[in-house]
Structure 1
Amino acid sequence: MQVTKIKDAKPYEAKLHWDVSALRLQGLEASKLESFSCSLSYFLPGGGCNWSSSPNEKVYVVLDGQATILTKEGDKEITTELGKLDSCVIGYNEERSVENRTNQVVTMLVIVSNS
């Protein structure tokens, strides 16, 4: 078993994000987990991430607050609000953006496949 105590979790800078603090809990540099990584992200009011995609699947679980997830279906932009304990899957190469449009911090568990 590999344990990461929250007091020992290492911060990292998430590319294309602003006003976000992220801690790696498992995978990548945090543990020997090979198939995915797990992180905890804190989106400050007004924080978010730019439109982007990646060759990885992602699961977002909102632990506290309300996050706005933007995706696209063809030329149409889809806006989805996720509240406490709501979750979504972002598919392989699916373009998305995340925004905190509230005045409260959004705490989100982010799980990303390594393939």
Structure 2
Amino acid sequence: MTVRITRGADAPRYHPPRHSGVDARRLQGHEAGPTQRFWVGESRYQPGAVAERSATTEETVYVVLDGELRLILEDGSAQALASGDSVHLPRGTTRSVENTSGRDARLLVIIATPSRTES
């Protein structure tokens, strides 16, 4: 077993589709290092930043590390998320995320990787 450390300053940037005003970095998984069942990223949302409406491709967990974000679900309902709040999104959940506050927000993103047996 090999332990892999990714230093925050060295975490590779990635560009999630349909995101604007978001600085996203991969902390573990994909190009940041080997993981088998999930990957972890951190997204910094500037004021006014948006992750446009789309469906989750896999089971996803969000944890707000700092600031406030607004989560809007497919049915139009919205939830304010503050530092320390987390949300579980089953695979296929349609949602959008936006920062309507006047300060940056940090979001930890954990996403399952597809099972090798899935087609």
- TM-score range with shorter-chain normalisation? over 0.9
Q: Which runs of 5+ in 2 are unaligned?
A: 115-119
Q: Match of 1:48, as an amino acid?
A: V
TM-score, length basis structure 1: 0.94
Q: Distance in 2 between matches of 1:106 and 1:51?
A: 19
Moved runs in structure 1, 4+ residues, more than 4 A?
A: none
TM-score w.r.t. structure 2 length? 0.91
Report the CA distance between 1:29 and its aligned residue.
1.1
Structure 1 unaligned regions, length at least 5: none
- CA distance in 2: counterparts of 1:5 and 1:69, whole angstroms: 29
Once residues 41 and 94 of structure 2 are traced to their aligned partners in structure 1, the CA distance between those partners, rounded to angstroms, is: 20
Query: 1:48, 1:34 → 2: CA distance?
Result: 29
Superposed CA deviations along residues 9-38 of structure 1, whole A, max 9, x for unmatched, are: 111111100000011000011111011110
Identify the residue that residue 41 of structure 2 maps to in structure 1: 39
Aligned length in residues: 112
Match 1:53 to one of 55, 66, 88: 55
SS of the residue aligned with 2:32? coil
- Partner residue in 1 for 2:19: 17
Q: How does 1:62-73 map to 2 (within 5 A)?
A: 62-72=64-74
